[in-house]
Structure 1
Amino acid sequence: MRQDAEVDALVRARMRGLRIAKGWSLDELAGRCHLSPSTLSRIETGHRRIGLDQLTAIARALGASLDQLVETEDDAVVIKPHHHPERGITTWLLSGEEGGTGLTVARIRLTRPASRRPEDQKVHPGRDWFTVLSGTVELRLGEREIVIETGEAASFSTMVPHVFGARGGPAEVIAVLTPDGERFHSES
């Protein structure tokens, strides 16, 4: 029962927070979800149970999904690195699919140069984008060799054979990866 009460309180707080963030009064939200302001007030304050039909209408009016309103909070505050010493890569996944875009944002530390072996260049559906936070990154796209310095960014189709690594010492990037790219870069 305690967990149900915690989820209930979380949903109510999220509803109220989204309403306030949009600058809406109870009357404005009520008009958008076809409920009375007094019903909304009682729902937000916990004096009325939330029916699924009401929750659906409120979520739609707030521009949120039901999942976003009811998902429990993740206790993970600290993002642990995933070390791949054999590849010279350490990855911190900063976001995943919870944003609903299917994109993943990752911080990646590279300590090895890009492989020069053609068989190490991979192809997979999607698109990669990264910006170099520190150091220099060498990107090999098929036969092309591209050098990306600190403060510069690269964007490319991952259907082109590719591999990237550090050049002249460690480098760090922030990368935005499509679902196939995230799977490839974090598991291979």
Structure 2
Amino acid sequence: MTTWVLSGDDGRNGLTVARIRVVRPASRRPEDQRVHPGRDWFTVLSGTIELLLGEREVLVHEGEAASFSTMTPHAFGARGGPAEVIAVFDPDGERNHVDA
């Protein structure tokens, strides 16, 4: 995964906007699904994202968006080739997805 942080450092709204290129498939191992306080939101710019929410699988295609509580165990990856998303993270999401 490659991440470009697009938002500035001012932190006024507490949100981080990032462009993420995803090349790996989603891990199906339950221990790879994470939980943390907050919500995640993303929209797919290209490709297809496989979003795992506990035992549920959601395919998010180019032009579609997803938002979910991050207290639900979750993981995501590319389906059928690389994908790119624009994601908005709250401070907890930034620590877990951008800083990780």
Q: Same fold by TM-score, threshold 0.5 exceeded?
A: yes
1:180 equivalenced with 2:92 (yes/no): yes
1:140 equivalenced with 2:52 (yes/no): yes
Structure 2 match to 1:44: none
Distance 2:64 2:8 in 1: 24
Structure 1 match to 2:82: 170
Which structure has greater helix proportion? 1
Larger RCO: 1 or 2 (CA < 8 Å, sep 6+): 2
Structure 1 match to 2:38: 126
Quote the RMSD (CA, aligned, Å). 1.0
1:158 equivalenced with 2:70 (yes/no): yes
Deviations 1:100-157 (A, max 9, x none): 1100000000000010000000000110000000000000000000000000000000
Question: What is the CA distance between 1:96 and its match in structure 2?
Answer: 4.5
Structure 2 match to 1:110: 22
Count of matched residue pairs: 100
Equivalent runs, 1:48-63 vs 2, <5 Å: none
Distance 1:97 1:126 in 2: 20
Radius of gyration: which is bigger?
1
Question: What is the CA distance between 1:99 and its match in structure 2?
Answer: 4.9
Task: Calculate the TM-score normalised by the size of structure 2.
Answer: 0.96
Task: Calculate the TM-score normalised by the size of structure 1.
Answer: 0.52
Distance 2:39 2:8 in 1: 16
Runs of 4+ with >3 A deviation: none
* Runs of 5+ consecutive residues of structure 2 not aligned to the other structure: none
Which structure has greater strand proportion? 2
* Runs of 5+ consecutive residues of structure 1 not aligned to the other structure: 1-88
